[in-house]
A and B are shown apart, each in its own frame.
Chain A
Amino acid sequence: MTQTITETENPWIDAPSGTGPVLTANVKADGKTIEEMWDAHRFSLKLVNPANKRKHTIIMVGTGLAGGAAAASLGELGYHVKAFCYQDSPRRAHSIAAQGGINAAKNYRNDGDSVFRLFYDTVKGGDFRAREANVYRLAQLSVDIIDQCVAQGVPFAREYGGLIDTRSFGGAQLSRTFYARGQTGQQLLLGAYSALCRQIDAGTVEMHPRTEMLEVIVVDGRARGIVVRDMISGAISSHFGDAVVLGTGGYSNVFFLSTNAKGCNTTAIWRAHRKGALFANPCFTQIHPTCIPVAGDHQSKLTLMSESLRNDGRVWVPKQGDDTRAPDQIPEDERDYYLERMYPAFGNLVPRDIASRAAKRVCDEGRGVGPGGLGVYLDFSKAQGGPAAINAKYGNLFDMYERITGENPYEVPMRIYPAVHYTMGGLWVDYNLMSTIPGLFVAGEANFSDHGANRLGASALMQGLADGYFILPATLTDYIGANTLPPVSADHPAVREAEASVNERVQRLLDVNGTRTVDSFHRELGQVMWDYCGMSRNGEGLRKAINRIPELRAEFWDNVKVPGINEDLNQSLEKAGRVADFFELAELMCIDALHRNESCGGHFREEYQTPEGEARRDDDNYAYAAAWEFKGVGLAPVLHKEKLTFDYVHPAQRDYR
């Protein structure tokens, strides 16, 4: 049952029913309501004798919010944890860049919040493509996360009375977002990192920074270890354990330009996917509407400006295309405040996906501003209270904007444009966060579980910490308690095979010795993805991309230039390995986007929209998570479906007019 991707109209294979892994959430809570489910499920989980825990080794890849929190918590339980990250310190994981905050259903404001409401909002915000059981648990745990972080010394913003301040964020009608000025992500990560430090000092966690995972070792059908490359010496070695956890973040960098850190990559989850872990909903990407636009060809990454700016700024473009006048020379009646015009009820505060698509639309009409015509104005000249009030609220953001663009946003309107920011898709996991490879767990942005087709603001931090602090310690223990896991020998054929494949791949990259840099390929791939699988997609474009990507990939393997040797700090080699994996992932994203004949959340298919230009979901045919099975490079992947049922939140059309 193999066919190549390019030779068919539908470059994928629908798994005949009854074949392949059974995709059920594995919730063991028969007859319980959603409120009781996590408790009942936890009661069903196996335990491990405290004295025995130190005999079990857990491999943790990635030490951001999810991985770092899990490594620390598992170490506290007494497990022997071997943690790996590509950064020089766990404190640098990209969780650090989250600005806005973290949601929690504390209802400190007495504004009607509850666990159920946070659950409801998250399912609805995800456009009904998330698993209810997981989302409910997330909302339940949100409350404990705040307690845990406060105990660690996370300096949340406070009121004068000494209580924690909260704010409304991302268009939510409740003030349920906890924050630490504009660096909530950094402060939460420092909390997890400090807990991790304590365990490193205590000897339960063995930390391996500047070490990149390049392969999963699967022995007798179970994940038992990883092959890593020491990024300083180039040494390739294997590490074994009773279970492997991937907390390696998202894959927005497939677009080259994104708000992710330069090092963020898909390698860990893609290698696992190649070894049998299903990849769910890869096309669900989130575009953030307020980023600083691209300034030129040299651009290496995009910078996010907090969404809160839309509370006071007005978004506009000139009514006429190709208008090269300075913004203050364009009279009021020649400006198009398009969000206010199109969405009079919500105006500039429409959700992220809607604001992003509207910006793209006006720029596609040739009315964009700034270099390349890819930008819209965010204007504060008429903001309430004048420059002084604006400075008090957004002073640091204005400084950052000026630092990057060299323009003073108090005098000239800001220019913004949408950018890729988060990926909801990821490895498919069950309720225990275990992938379809037994013993391989996936946490945080790397899994697909909680956000459906669109993530709400301030929910990413919540998910990473819920997975790491509270869910994995329980579910991993169950896996270890329930299974007998004999030690793996370094001579096992599966280990040899994994190491050989890593060595072979590294050598292959070094041997090409072509004429193009890794970055030039990455940029070109990113452009294809942005054009055809970005903010809005259509069948024709996706087919183009599906044809173009293999060509580009072939050229990459034929003509890339990776200087230097393996036995060295070789940043070009690191990048090359990651880009090679992005090439394979990119194809799957396009296939997923093409197969999903509906629009939902961050996935907007131009063919499937309402007459008003809004996303049109197809719940009858697509209320499932699309979990893809790898069949080989260039071969059609096999689609498995996890049916999503909505017993508590009933699907409805979103309307912001």
Chain B
Amino acid sequence: MTTTLARSGRRPAALRSTVGRKQLMAVTGVLWFGFVFLHMVGMLKFFTGPESFDHYSHWLRTLFSPLFPHGWFLWLQRGGLTVALLLHIWAATSLTRQSRRARPVRYARTTNVQATYASRTMRWGGVIILLFIVYHLLDLSMGPANPGYVRGEVFRNTVASLERWPVAIAYLLAVGAVCLHLYHGVWSALQTMGANSPKRDAMIRRVSKTVGLLVFVGFASVPVAILLGYRG
């Protein structure tokens, strides 16, 4: 008697499993990481002054034009990121719920032997980042949360928002959450996709730490500069 799983049944079973859902999180997470990194590089154009920065944001709409009509690629990308985000959140939620169910009675006392702060705060960090994304869109993409919002004047909008110190601090905290999320997330995604190995592990951990810090410094530089009086 044998109990081998038939070949045809393997794929759906693998995708449905906790490992499959985690891998979905890894893939969507990596997509978002790519976006965040490029977004940060773009943000650094802030320091080239209002004209250049506004021009850059306008250029984004012309990307891949005329292959796609004007502005289409940006929407395509927005759509892709939204889908990725929804999948990421769906997987995270379903896995989190499963984990909660897996330990109905908590320990009276827990001592972490080696877990990092970042690894233990992925879920709340994720929620903070999600809230921040909503605010960020209302603030700088659409305007309702920004008193001085003028469509198309990206530099001016950025300054108008971040010169209010509570907003700047909230922004810094959110970027900190992104940094922690990436610090564990980048390593974790590679581990989840099976790309880690004992030999590469230390290197991958260094890279994810560096990437997290880089993203933090890159994004934090803008509100800090604004608070310090930089106006282009």
Contact = CB atoms under 8 A, between A and B. Distances in A.
Nearest to B3: A201
B1 interface: yes
A265 interface: no
Contacts of B2: 202
Interface in B1-24: 1-3
A202 B1 CA distance: 6
Contacts of A203: 1
Contacts of B3: 198, 201-202
B13 to A, nearest CB: 16
Nearest to B1: A202
A536 interface: no
A199 B3 CA distance: 9
A618 B3 CA distance: 56
B3 to A, nearest CB: 5
A198 B1 CA distance: 8
Interface in A186-237: 198-199, 201-204
Contacts of B1: 76, 198-199, 202-204
Interface in A488-502: none
A530 B2 CA distance: 50
Query: Main SS of the interface on chain B?
Result: loop
B199 to A, nearest CB: 20
B127 to A, nearest CB: 39
Interface string A67-105: 000000000100000000000000000000000000000
A203 B3 CA distance: 11
Contacts of A199: 1
Interface string A571-592: 0000000000000000000000
A79 to B, nearest CB: 12
A198 B2 CA distance: 8
Contacts of A76: 1
Contacts of A202: 1-3
A493 to B, nearest CB: 38
Nearest to A201: B3
Interface residues of B, number: 3
A76 B1 CA distance: 7
Nearest to A75: B1
B84 to A, nearest CB: 39
A199 B1 CA distance: 8
A287 B161 CA distance: 82
A204 B2 CA distance: 11
Interface string A115-156: 000000000000000000000000000000000000000000
A204 B1 CA distance: 9
Contacts of A198: 1, 3
B81 to A, nearest CB: 44
B218 to A, nearest CB: 48
A76 B2 CA distance: 10
A202 B3 CA distance: 7
A353 B1 CA distance: 46
Nearest to A76: B1
A203 B1 CA distance: 9
A204 B3 CA distance: 12
A534 B2 CA distance: 49
A199 B2 CA distance: 9
A203 B2 CA distance: 11
A447 to B, nearest CB: 29
A631 to B, nearest CB: 46
A196 B1 CA distance: 12
B2 to A, nearest CB: 8
Nearest to A198: B3
A198 B3 CA distance: 8
A72 to B, nearest CB: 12
Contacts of A204: 1
A512 B1 CA distance: 51
A26 B82 CA distance: 79
A224 B2 CA distance: 30
A196 to B, nearest CB: 13
A201 B2 CA distance: 9
Interface in A442-487: none
A514 B62 CA distance: 92
Interface string B81-111: 0000000000000000000000000000000
A407 B157 CA distance: 70
A441 B17 CA distance: 44
A200 to B, nearest CB: 10
B1 to A, nearest CB: 4
A338 B145 CA distance: 90
Interface in B146-162: none
Contacts of A201: 3
B75 to A, nearest CB: 52
A93 to B, nearest CB: 23
A205 to B, nearest CB: 11
A30 B3 CA distance: 44
A201 B5 CA distance: 12
B26 to A, nearest CB: 30
A198 B4 CA distance: 10
A201 B1 CA distance: 9
A250 B141 CA distance: 77
A495 B2 CA distance: 36
Interface string B152-184: 000000000000000000000000000000000
A255 B41 CA distance: 75
B5 to A, nearest CB: 12
A244 B156 CA distance: 88
A544 B15 CA distance: 71
A468 B3 CA distance: 23
A100 to B, nearest CB: 30
Interface in A601-647: none
A194 to B, nearest CB: 12
Nearest to A203: B1
A477 B3 CA distance: 25
A445 B1 CA distance: 30
B178 to A, nearest CB: 44
A471 to B, nearest CB: 23
Interface in B173-197: none
Nearest to A202: B1
B56 to A, nearest CB: 59
Interface string A356-391: 000000000000000000000000000000000000
A107 B3 CA distance: 36
A202 to B, nearest CB: 4
A635 to B, nearest CB: 49
Nearest to A199: B1
A201 B4 CA distance: 11
A576 B46 CA distance: 80
What 7 pairs across the A-B complex have the smallest Cβ distances? Answer: A202-B1, A201-B3, A202-B3, A198-B3, A204-B1, A199-B1, A203-B1
10 contacts: A76-B1, A198-B1, A198-B3, A199-B1, A201-B3, A202-B1, A202-B2, A202-B3, A203-B1, A204-B1
Interface of B: 1-3
Given A202-B3, A203-B1, 8 more contacts: A76-B1, A198-B1, A198-B3, A199-B1, A201-B3, A202-B1, A202-B2, A204-B1
